[in-house]
Chains A and B, each alone.
Chain A
C-alpha cells in the first residue's frame, strides 16, 4: 500500500500541474521571461557577428537554431502551467505576447540563416533589442 502511495506521489510530482499560488505562477513567469531574454540576447550577439562578417554561416545557423529552441521551449513549458486565477491570466497574456514576438523573430532569423541569407539577418533582427528590453523588464518585475 505504502509503495502504491509513493508511486502515485512520484507520478504527480513528475507532471506539470496547476500552480495553486499566484506568487509561484508569477515567479515562473519571471523565470520564463529571463530564459527567453537570454535566448534573444544570444541571437543578437550572433547577428552582431554576422554583421561584422566574423562568423561562419554554419556556426551562426547553429547559434540561431539553439536560441529559437530555447525561447520556444521556455514558452512551451510556461504555457503548460495552469494559471491559478484571473490575475495570472492577465500575466500570461502579457508574457505570451512578448514570447510570441521573440520566437517569431528568432524563427525568421533561423529560416534566413538556414537558407544562407546571412546579409538579411541584421534587418530581420531589428525588433530584438526592444523585445529583449521588455522581456528583461518583465523578468525583473516578476522574478
Chain B
C-alpha cells in the first residue's frame, strides 16, 4: 500500500511539475494565433520527453549516477563540455524566465509591479534549494502545480465544440493571414517548451537524490509514461482555452494575465484563484528545478560533490553554482527585460540545443558497461534515432526561422 501511494504521488508530481512558464506562454500564444493546428507538436514533444526522460531515469537508476556524470566519462571532456555549455546556457535562461514567471504570478494577485518581487522570489528559491529536503520540495510544488488542472475544468465548463477543436488538431493547416515560416517557428517553440533540457537533468539527478534502485524502474516508467502525458494534456487545455477566447478576437497574448482570461471567464473568482496558485506553483517549482539543474550540470561535469542528499556543507561548490545562477537569473530579470520575451527566446533556443542534450543520453543508455541488461531495446533505439534526426532538423532550422519571422512577430 505504501509503495502504491509512493507511485501515485510520483505520478501526481510528474503531472503537476510538467507545465512551466515556457509551456504556459508557448501554448497560449500558439492557441491565440494558430488555434489547435499545432496541437500535434505537443504530442510529438510529450512522446519525445517521455522517451528520453525514461532513458535518463533508467541510466540513473541502474548506474546510480546522473546523466552528466556519465556523459563526460563516456564521451570525453571536450564533447561533454560542448554539451554542458549549450545545456547550461539554456537552463540558465529558463531559470531567469521562471523567476520572472513567479514574480508575474504574484503581480497578478497583487497588482504590484513584478520587479519588486524578483529579489524576494530569488531569495525564496535559493532558501528552498539550500534548506528544504528534496522529496518534500518535489512533492509540495508538484502537487500544488496540479492546481493547473483548473484549465481543463474551465474548458469542460465552457462546453466547447469538441469536434471543432479535435478537427483543428487532427487536420493541421496554417490559418488565413499567417505565413508558413511563423507557423513552423511556433511549432519549434512548442517543441522546445515540451522537451526543454533541464527536465531530463532534473529527472535523472532526482533519481539519484531519491536513491532509486532497480526496484524503482517501474516507478520511473509510470512517472514518465502516465505523469508526463497527463501534464501534456494541461498544455493542450491552455492551447484550447486560447483558441476559444483569444483567437476569435485577434488577441496577441504578451502577458501572463491574458493566459488566465479563459479560466476567469469560465469559472469566476474561485477558478481564477486556483489558476494563479497553479501559475505560482508551476513557475516556482520549475525555478527550483532549473536552479538545481544549473548546479547539477556543472558539479557533475567537474566531478564536485553534488546533491541535496548530502548536507550543504558537504557540497559547497554545487550550492554555490545554484546560488550564483539564481542570483544572476534574478539580475537578468531586473534589467527590466520582459520575462515573457526571455521565455520565448529560452524555449526557441532550447529547441536549437536539443540534439546536444539528447544524443549523449542515447549513447549512454546503449552502453552495456553502464547499463548491463537494461540497455535500450531496438524499438527505443529506433524511436530515439528518429527523434534525433528530427531534433537535428529543428536545430538547423531554428535560427534562420527566428531571423526570417523576426522571432515569430
**Docked CA distance A52–B111 (Å):** 20
Task: Choose among A38, A62, A65 the residue that contacts B250 (Cβ–Cβ < 8 A).
Answer: A38
* B34: min CB distance to chain A, Å: 15
Judge if A56 is at the interface, Cβ distance under 8 Å: yes
B-side contacts of A37, CB under 8 Å: 250
B-side contacts of A42, CB under 8 Å: 251, 258, 261
**Docked CA distance A48–B266 (Å):** 11
Residues B108 and A59 in contact, CB atoms below 8 Å apart: yes
Give the contacts of B240-279 with A (CB-CB under 8 A): 245, 249-252, 254-255, 257-258, 260-261, 264-265, 267-269, 272-273, 276
**Docked CA distance A41–B255 (Å):** 14
* B45: min CB distance to chain A, Å: 27
* A111: min CB distance to chain B, Å: 14
**Docked CA distance A35–B110 (Å):** 26
**Docked CA distance A9–B265 (Å):** 49
Residues B110 and A58 in contact, CB atoms below 8 Å apart: yes
Q: Report B107-140 CB contacts with A as 1/0, cut-off 8 Å.
A: 1111100000000000000000000000000000
Q: Is the interface of B mostly helix, strand, loop or mixed?
A: helix
Judge if B177 is at the interface, Cβ distance under 8 Å: yes
**A54 and B272 in contact, given A45-B245, A59-B264, A62-B111 (Cβ under 8 angstroms):** yes
How many residues of chain A have a CB within 8 Å of chain B? Answer: 28
Give the contacts of B277-320 with A (CB-CB under 8 A): none
**A55 and B251 in contact, given A45-B265, A49-B264 (Cβ under 8 angstroms):** no
Residues B107 and A63 in contact, CB atoms below 8 Å apart: no
Residues B261 and A38 in contact, CB atoms below 8 Å apart: no
**Docked CA distance A35–B253 (Å):** 10
**A55 and B269 in contact, given A41-B249, A49-B264, A136-B250 (Cβ under 8 angstroms):** yes
Residues B250 and A59 in contact, CB atoms below 8 Å apart: no
Residues A66 and B249 in contact, CB atoms below 8 Å apart: no
**Docked CA distance A127–B130 (Å):** 53
Task: Choose among A38, A52, A59 the residue that contacts B257 (Cβ–Cβ < 8 A).
Answer: A59
- When C-beta atoms are compared, the residue in chain A nearest to B245 turns out to be A45
Residues B261 and A45 in contact, CB atoms below 8 Å apart: yes
**Docked CA distance A46–B264 (Å):** 9
**A62 and B257 in contact, given A52-B268, A54-B268, A55-B269 (Cβ under 8 angstroms):** yes
- When C-beta atoms are compared, the residue in chain A nearest to B257 turns out to be A63
* A110: min CB distance to chain B, Å: 11
A-side contacts of B264, CB under 8 Å: 49, 54-55, 59
B-side contacts of A54, CB under 8 Å: 264-265, 267-269, 272
Leading 8 A-B pairs by shortest Cβ distance:
A58-B111, A41-B249, A54-B268, A38-B252, A61-B111, A63-B257, A62-B111, A66-B255
Residue of B107, B245, B255 most packed against chain A (CB within 10 A): B255
**Docked CA distance A66–B260 (Å):** 14
B-side contacts of A136, CB under 8 Å: 250
**Docked CA distance A47–B368 (Å):** 62
A-side contacts of B108, CB under 8 Å: 58-59, 62
B-side contacts of A93, CB under 8 Å: none
Residues A59 and B111 in contact, CB atoms below 8 Å apart: yes
Q: Report A61-100 CB contacts with B as 1/0, cut-off 8 Å.
A: 1110110001000000000000000000000000000000
A-side contacts of B269, CB under 8 Å: 53-56
Judge if A122 is at the interface, Cβ distance under 8 Å: no
21 contacting pairs across A/B (C-beta < 8 A):
A38-B249, A42-B251, A45-B249, A46-B261, A48-B265, A49-B261, A49-B265, A53-B268, A54-B265, A55-B269, A55-B272, A58-B111, A59-B108, A59-B109, A59-B257, A62-B111, A62-B257, A63-B258, A65-B111, A66-B257, A70-B254
B-side contacts of A66, CB under 8 Å: 255, 257
**Docked CA distance A56–B111 (Å):** 10
A-side contacts of B258, CB under 8 Å: 42, 63
**Docked CA distance A54–B245 (Å):** 15
